[in-house]
Structure 1
Amino acid sequence: MKQVTASGQTVNDAVQSALQQLNTTEDQVHIDIIDEGKKGMFGLFGAKRAIVKVTIKEDPIDQAKIYLKQIAHSFSNDVDVDVKRDGQNIRFDLSGEKIAMIIGKRGQTLNAIQHLVQVMLNRHTNEHFRIIIDAEGYRERRQATLEQLAQRLADKAIKIKKHVALEPMPSYERKIIHSILQDNHEVETYSDGKEPNRHVVIKPLL
């Protein structure tokens, strides 16, 4: 966290001095006025300089990356984090050794890490960011698996003429199932249960 305490004849002078020292602009900082100062008699006698503390705002995405690195390094010190930002969508890509441990069975560990980072990010900003954490292309492979699973279980629901419930999944994985089957006119899908056990149900249209 970069911050400086500066003084000036007025609050504005003190702020400008701090901004110059930090080499930044006013919209990038938090300003705390420690002392508003006093002009004094005739502008000279009893004058007191204004004092401010100016702190550069922390980038919540940078903070999330640091937090993610700390978690990843508990599995392996050889993990790199690459960040891609598209508006409010943030993607963190992990690479390195022991990635399988970070992914976990059916991505459960990776999903848990993603949840932790999302919660941390929500606490540090009022903006609504949607994050995805991937590890060496796992998400794409998982999506292909979910697409195959959706089609297979839809066929099963149609054949046995009964509802088929899938295993609990995070919301973005449930969306994949809903999306794949939305054009299948022989079934409909809905989510049931409460987190973390919320799951997709495939209902045959009799």
Structure 2
Amino acid sequence: MREVSKYGKTVELAISSALEELNATADQAEIIVVERPRSGFLGIGSKKALVRVTLKKTPFDSGIDFLKNLIEKMEISAHVQVSDKNGRICRCQFVGHDVSQLIGKHGQTLNALQYLANLVVNKNADHRMTLMLDVGNYRETRKLALISLADRVAEKVAKTKKTYRFDPMPSFERKIIHSELAGKSLIETFSFGEEPHRYVTVAPLNK
């Protein structure tokens, strides 16, 4: 949880300076006026205002704390770094020497950690919030691999007329498959099952 203390000629100026450093708005922070300004006598004994501003804990912070505790218990040398965040999406990176251990086969470990973290995030959220986890450039590499695989599968299904079933994958990966194959004329795609075991099938189009 980030906290800054700032001086200013007025309380308002001190608060404004602190919020600017935190890149936050007043409703996202707790503000304590430590000292009010004092003009003194003929400039002698004057004091500036001093405020302490602390960012409020958000559901994303709860998810990140959960991940930090988890990787500590896993005895993996890594930490969570936030790369981008707004009110609905928070993108994070695992950074450290042992981060490759957090990917797993086809990203299964990374996806499981992301799924659990999002359960924590949305437990007390008043709207849907999504925490996206990555390790290095893995997500982009995985996306390109899925696109390539989807194209090969579509070609095979169109040729053999046999339905193909992908392994279960998270919704954002299923979306990659659906989007890539949406324009194919000889096949169609469906999603079946319940999270986190929902999967995509590619079937020949019956005309």
Asked whether the equivalents of residues 186 and 205 of structure 2 are also in contact (C-alpha less than 8 Å), the reply is yes
- Runs of at least 5 residues in structure 2 that lack an aligned partner in the other structure: 2-17, 20-25, 31-54
- Runs of at least 5 residues in structure 1 that lack an aligned partner in the other structure: 2-22, 30-55
**CA RMSD in angstroms, aligned pairs only:** 2.5
Structure 2 equivalent of residue 187 of structure 1: 187
Would the alpha carbon gap of residues 129 and 162 (structure 1) be closer, same or farther in structure 2, given more than 3 Å must change? same
Query: Which stretch of the first structure deviates more once superposed, 190-199 or 148-157?
Result: 190-199
Query: Which stretch of the first structure deviates more once superposed, 169-178 or 77-86?
Result: 77-86
Would the alpha carbon gap of residues 168 and 66 (structure 1) be closer, same or farther in structure 2, given more than 3 Å must change? same
Would the alpha carbon gap of residues 142 and 89 (structure 1) be closer, same or farther in structure 2, given more than 3 Å must change? same
1:149 shift after superposition: 0.7
* Rounded Cα–Cα distance in structure 2 between residues aligned with 1:79 and 1:123: 25
* Rounded Cα–Cα distance in structure 1 between residues aligned with 2:76 and 2:203: 46
Taking every aligned residue pair, what percent have the same amino acid on both sides?
A: 37
* Rounded Cα–Cα distance in structure 1 between residues aligned with 2:87 and 2:159: 44
How many residues align? The count is: 161
Query: Which stretch of the first structure deviates more once superposed, 169-178 or 118-127?
Result: 118-127
Asked whether the equivalents of residues 75 and 98 of structure 1 are also in contact (C-alpha less than 8 Å), the reply is no
Q: Which has the larger radius of gyration?
A: 1
* Rounded Cα–Cα distance in structure 1 between residues aligned with 2:128 and 2:192: 25
* Rounded Cα–Cα distance in structure 2 between residues aligned with 1:130 and 1:78: 25
TM-score using structure 1 length: 0.69
Structure 1 equivalent of residue 94 of structure 2: 94
1:77 shift after superposition: 4.9
1:88 shift after superposition: 1.1
* Rounded Cα–Cα distance in structure 1 between residues aligned with 2:135 and 2:186: 35
Do structure 1's residue 141 and structure 2's residue 134 form an aligned pair? no
Would the alpha carbon gap of residues 173 and 26 (structure 1) be closer, same or farther in structure 2, given more than 3 Å must change? closer
Note the 1:52-201 alignment, pairs <5 A. 57-83=56-82, 84-201=84-201
Asked whether the equivalents of residues 190 and 202 of structure 1 are also in contact (C-alpha less than 8 Å), the reply is yes
Would the alpha carbon gap of residues 134 and 26 (structure 1) be closer, same or farther in structure 2, given more than 3 Å must change? closer
Would the alpha carbon gap of residues 192 and 77 (structure 1) be closer, same or farther in structure 2, given more than 3 Å must change? closer
Query: Which stretch of the first structure deviates more once superposed, 89-98 or 194-203?
Result: 194-203
* Rounded Cα–Cα distance in structure 1 between residues aligned with 2:159 and 2:86: 42
Would the alpha carbon gap of residues 85 and 26 (structure 1) be closer, same or farther in structure 2, given more than 3 Å must change? closer
SS at match of 2:196: coil
* Rounded Cα–Cα distance in structure 2 between residues aligned with 1:88 and 1:59: 11
SS at match of 2:190: strand
* Rounded Cα–Cα distance in structure 2 between residues aligned with 1:58 and 1:100: 29
Query: Which digits, 9 at most, give the CA deviation of each residue in 1:101-156, with x for residues without a partner?
Result: 11111111111100111000111321321221111111111111100110010011
TM-score using structure 2 length: 0.69
Asked whether the equivalents of residues 92 and 131 of structure 2 are also in contact (C-alpha less than 8 Å), the reply is yes
Residue 62 of structure 1 aligns with an amino acid whose one-letter code is D
Query: Which digits, 9 at most, give the CA deviation of each residue in 1:16-58, with x for residues without a partner?
Result: xxxxxxx9968856xxxxxxxxxxxxxxxxxxxxxxxxxx852
Residue 115 of structure 2 aligns with an amino acid whose one-letter code is H
